[in-house]
Amino acid sequence: MENLNSTPLPPELAAETALRRTFAIISHPDAGKTTLTEKLLLYSGMVRTAGMVRARKGGKSTSSDWMAMEQERGISITASAMQFPYKTATINLLDTPGHQDFSEDTYRTLTAADSAVMVIDAGKGVEAQTRKLFAVCRLRNIPILTFINKLDLNSRDFFDLLHEVEQVLGIHASPLNWPVGSGKTFSGVADVVSGQVAMFSRGELGGAQRALMHSRPLAELHLEQGIDTELVHKVRDDLDLLAGAGNPFDRRSFLEGQVTPVFFGSALTNFGVEPFFDRFVELAPAPRAVKADKADGGEITVSPTEVPFSGFVFKIQANMNPRHRDSMAFLRVCSGVFERDMVVRHHRLGKEVRLSRSYSVMAQDRNTVDRAYPGDIVGVINPGVFAIGDTLSLDSSFNFKPMPQFPPEVIGQIRPIDVMRRKSFDKGLLQLCDEGAVQMLRSYDIPDNPPYVAAVGKLQFDVLQYRLRAEYNVETQLELLPHQFSAWLEGDPKTVKKPRGAMMTLDSRGRVVVLFSSEWEKNYLLEQNPQHRLTDFLK
């Protein structure tokens, strides 16, 4: 591979890039991912009191779960981007949905991250969705830090948890701190290297406020009020065992994805959150070079500090704020300096576009941004010209790697109950499909037939109907089709022999997607058409 050469860039570019930490938080549902996100905002000073994932009536909800449906159900439905300062660093935090029905949104968001924080429930260990998300991080060589959460509840044996991380995920686990107790006795974390113990107690507002923290040497832990002798001995014995048999931490191995530094804490009570965040800023990488495809073939490396402005669209969101009924494209800056009102090359459309309305975002809130650097996430108003995966730059000789795509597993037809709302329905459906919330498919044989909607999971259809009602004032009726499997077809569709129950459709890019009612139909098509291939994953 080769590096792009360029003209001199602004002198502050390297220093500003080095300050950026752009990362995603991933986990299985209910592991505490969104709660940890909220507490990072608390410790950065961006919120004065932290909200809760399931807020009581009149209570404060989390900042990242800004959509009404998220607050009602207590789950993350859409990825959200937030930028804020923490000490000397500039943080770009990408909160992702944990539920598998929204995994495609999570996978796309991971393309914009330089590192990831993997949250694990201390009582449950490594769960199914965690394994899937970890595999995507490994596929993209994203360094991972692990936060073992919910130490305020009954926990599994700490060494068993580390062993499971290594065995299930195939990565070395290296604890950088160690818990003092668990459940009702959880009261602090000991730094594995320095031996200093951070002890915590709740503030007046409990988890909505920073935990009170003080530090003392491990040798003086027995002097801590409320700590019994047996617990002191256990912490010392555990640390001795780690020193003799644990995996030593090596930052280079971490950046290469061979080892994950492990931290313990409770996002609910804030115990262990501040020590984790302090070490995260030290360990997590600044924006790195990104691989791209040359327009004339081959591959190049786009350096963040040596190439003029470039970036790619990884997410589109409509109607984030009721006051702004618009669509916003989220752009990851990969190189150079972004400046408001700049004219850039839109690679897919082959034309120049002006980025006149650009914003930094805090969940659904927006502030005008005049300048941004590699690693930053910039929201630009989308007048219908941007799509997920678009490359924008001042140099049109390359394209960033395409976004991963997954075949839908649930198919349906949706229509407005009130035909007088057809115009609003069409607009809403088109915008939500542009977001990637659902896919729109058209019949291959009869393209003029009403389109089908397709999704990775059924919950996406619930969100689709909810948002059409809440944002476009359209009540809808959804009819599910019997098809449960799908794949992209490679080969001439005119010559394919398909079973009777299978159906051929076209996606938004004109590619053929075959829908199947059973695995048998899929296998039958492959057997009858050896000259064709079916693809389950596009990247």
Least confident of 13-22, 320-329, 404-413: 320-329
Which ranges of 140-220 would DSSP assign to H, the alpha helix? 158-169
pLDDT: which is higher, 456 or 330: 330
- Tell me the pLDDT band of 5, cut-offs 50, 70 and 90: very low
- pLDDT higher than threshold 60 for residue 2: no
Residues 354, 385: contact at Cβ < 8 Å? no
- pLDDT higher than threshold 80 for residue 370: yes
Provide the token pair at 179. Answer: 């818990």
The predicted-structure confidence for 161-214, as pLDDT tens digits, reads as follows 999 999 999 999 999 999 999 999 999 999 999 999 999 998 777 778 899 999
Least confident of 82-91, 398-407, 512-521: 398-407
Q: Count CB-CB contacts under 10 A for residue 327.
A: 18
Residue with tokens 């039958």: 524
For the chain, what are the domain ranges? 25-76+114-283, 289-400, 410-535
- pLDDT higher than threshold 60 for residue 147: yes
The predicted-structure confidence for 331-354, as pLDDT tens digits, reads as follows 999 999 999 999 999 999 999 999
C-alpha span between 448 and 451 (Å, rounded): 8
Average pLDDT over residues 476-481: 93
C-alpha span between 248 and 179 (Å, rounded): 18
What is the pLDDT, as a whole number, of residue 75?
45
Share of the chain above pLDDT 70, in %: 88
C-alpha span between 202 and 119 (Å, rounded): 22
- Tell me the pLDDT band of 303, cut-offs 50, 70 and 90: very high
Average pLDDT over residues 38-65: 64
What is the pLDDT, as a whole number, of residue 537?
60
CA distances from 273 to 41, 76, 388 (A): 11, 21, 34
State whether residue 204 is helix, strand or coil. Answer: coil
The CATH number assigned to the domain with range 289-400 reads 3.40.50.300
What is the pLDDT, as a whole number, of residue 295?
82
- Tell me the pLDDT band of 237, cut-offs 50, 70 and 90: very high
Least confident of 39-48, 186-195, 236-245: 39-48
- Write out the CATH class of domain 410-535: alpha beta
Residue with tokens 């938004």: 508
Average pLDDT over residues 129-141: 83
Residues 505, 493: contact at Cβ < 8 Å? no
The CATH number assigned to the domain with range 25-76+114-283 reads 3.40.50.300
- pLDDT higher than threshold 70 for residue 394: yes
pTM of the entire structure? Answer: 0.81
What is the pLDDT, as a whole number, of residue 50?
61
What is the pLDDT, as a whole number, of residue 376?
96
Share of the chain above pLDDT 90, in %: 59
Average pLDDT over residues 491-506: 93
Same fold, 25-76+114-283 and 410-535: no
Which ranges of 20-125 would DSSP assign to H, the alpha helix? 33-44, 68-73, 103-110
C-alpha span between 189 and 180 (Å, rounded): 5
Q: Tell me what the pLDDT averaged over the chain comes to.
A: 87
Q: Count CB-CB contacts under 10 A for residue 205.
A: 11
pLDDT: which is higher, 29 or 274: 274
What is the pLDDT, as a whole number, of residue 538?
55
- pLDDT higher than threshold 60 for residue 69: no
What is the pLDDT, as a whole number, of residue 46?
82
Provide the token pair at 97. Answer: 């949905």
Least confident of 51-60, 149-158, 195-204, 251-260: 51-60
Most confidently modeled range among 30-34, 94-98, 150-154, 222-226: 150-154
State whether residue 239 is helix, strand or coil. Answer: helix
List the helix and strand counts (H, then E) for the chain.
12, 33
Beta pairing class for 172-175 and 259-264 = parallel
- Tell me the pLDDT band of 366, cut-offs 50, 70 and 90: confident
CA distances from 105 to 100, 144, 331, 403, 456 (A): 10, 19, 15, 10, 10
> Residue type at 270?
N
What is the pLDDT, as a whole number, of residue 321?
63
- pLDDT higher than threshold 50 for residue 530: yes
* Axis crossing angle, helix 422-435 with helix 458-472, rounded to the nearest 10: 130
Q: Count CB-CB contacts under 10 A for residue 220.
A: 10
Q: What is the DSSP letter of 483?
A: -
Residues in the chain: 539
